[in-house]
Chain A
Amino acid sequence: MKNKFILFALIGFLSFCFVIFYKGLDNIKIYKPKINNKKDIPVFRAKDFNSNIYIDSEKIFEKGNFYLVNIWSSWCVPCRDEHPFLMKLKEHQSVRLIGLNYRDKLNNAKNFINEFGNPYTKILIDSDGTLSVEFGAYGVPETFIINKDKKIIKKFIGPINEKIVEEIKLIIK
């Protein structure tokens, strides 16, 4: 009787382990940070892309407006793909686009904007990438939606596409 119990317990334990590991096979192993709850925007000082003057974040983000913070770089190929969608979003009056130029050469970045157009109301320079870390980004492109209460409510990792544009439109409506 005792032996039978041990046998069943062993089989049960091994089956449990098998199920756990088998399920684990299908899991995506790449970790992606999520934003589950609303986060305050970081407090920072950054150089303006056009004027080269330092600006405080309080002066950039005003209460009562939706903002889209887009991290981009001229050397980033997916940024070129998402650029037409950003130009589309620019037409929406209810959202302001803020560009964060990530670890880029100023001349290359200016050429990029001249070639593809400027969807941003303001562009900030993030030459060492620390500003992007303050936002919780880990690559380019990444886009953050900031609500009227100056809270980060959503982030999109990777280039923006038609589907994401629709999602953004629904949020900012």
Chain B
Amino acid sequence: MKIFKIILIVFFSLGFYQLKSDEKTAAIEIKILKNIRCLICQGQSVHDSESEFAFSIKQIVKKKISEGLKEKQIYDFLKDKYGEWIVYDPGFNKNTYILWLLPLLLFFLAGAIMIKKLIFKK
């Protein structure tokens, strides 16, 4: 009886662990799909799109996750096939540096003007 109880506990623990792991994988998959643009319904993410292309991307993301690829590796794979534009979160490179640096530049410029004004007031 005792052995039977132990077997039951181990069985349910393993089942629970598997369920947790599946949930985690599904969450990563959704996160990736939400961060990829659909090239057919431009403006929509692959997650929201119902196009043929979106379907294929959903399949390949699932396949790559099951092959053990990490999130970044999947983005890199898609960027290699379709270019940087495929991801909503563009990396820092020669095409995007203005996008990243301009807000910072404007922030510091505005800060400098404010500090200067305050000093002059004093």
Contacts and interface: CB of A to CB of B under 8 A. Distances in A.
Interface of A: 29-31, 33-34, 39, 102-103, 128-130, 132-136, 138-140
Interface in B24-58: 37, 39-40, 42, 52-53, 55-57
A130 B63 contact: yes
Question: Interface residues of B: mostly helix, strand, loop or mixed?
Answer: helix
A128 B57 CA distance: 9
Interface of B: 37, 39-40, 42, 52-53, 55-57, 59-60, 63, 80-83, 85-86
Given A33-B83, A34-B83, A132 B56 contact: yes
Question: Interface residues of A: mostly helix, strand, loop or mixed?
Answer: loop
Contacts of A130: 56, 59-60, 63
Contact of B56 (A29, A30, A133): A133
6 contacts: A31-B85, A33-B39, A33-B86, A102-B52, A130-B60, A138-B82
Contact of A103 (B37, B56, B83): B56
Given A31-B83, A138-B40, 17 more contacts: A29-B42, A33-B81, A33-B83, A33-B85, A34-B83, A102-B52, A103-B56, A128-B56, A129-B60, A130-B59, A133-B57, A135-B81, A138-B53, A138-B82, A139-B52, A139-B53, A140-B52
B66 to A, nearest CB: 12
Contact of B39 (A29, A31, A102, A128): A31
Interface centre among B42, B82, B85 (most CB of A within 10 A): B82
